[in-house]
Amino acid sequence: MKGGYLMADVLISTTENIPGHDYEVIGEVFGLTTQSKNMFSDIGASLKNIVGGEIKAYTDMLRESRETAIQRLKDEATSKGADAVVMMRFDSGSIGQDMQSVVAYGTAVKFK
């Protein structure tokens, strides 16, 4: 709720065109988060490196990071008056050995 009015959710699309909508481009928007692993995850990861398999704590961390990045992308798009974000993409990378950064980015648009 902003300014007493319920805000519609910003539509996120990985495509350039949204069927049935004409729009004008507002500009680029980003959502960024950086997460660190905890000691217990590191112990589990070390054991998985020996026997193999999925490291669920890391998978969960990346899923949560992606969701946070999308929400921050939506927040920035909303602050610019956007109705949608087109061409949304993710990028991620490691910072040192114990941090992971995830960014969601795209083009904010306003429906005509």
* Domain presence at residue 97: yes
Place of tokens 């704590």: 57
Look at the chain and report how many structural domains it folds into: 1
Instruction: Answer yes or no: is 3 within a domain.
Output: no
Domain of residue 57, CATH code: 3.30.110.70
Does residue 17 contact residue 87 with C-beta atoms inside 8 Å? no
The pLDDT score that the predictor gives to residue 1 is: 39
Is residue 29 in a domain?
A: yes
How far apart CA 11 and CA 6 sit, in angstroms, is 15
Q: What is the pLDDT of residues 3-44, one digit of tens each?
A: 434 456 999 999 999 999 999 999 999 999 998 866 455 555
- Domain-located, residue 34: yes
Q: How many Cα atoms within 13 Å fall on the side-chain side of residue 87?
A: 9
Q: What confidence tens digit (pLDDT) does each residue in 59-76 have?
A: 888 899 999 999 999 999
Distance CA 56, CA 93 (A): 18
| pTM of this structure | 0.78
Angle at 59 between CA 56 and CA 60, to 5 degrees: 85
Give the CA distances from residue 89 to residues 32, 60, 81, in Å, rounded to whole numbers and listed in that order: 12, 19, 20
Domain range spanning residue 16? 11-111
Write the pLDDT tens digit of every residue in 89-98: 999 988 877 7
Does residue 6 sit within a domain? no
CB 42, CB 74: distance < 8 Å = no
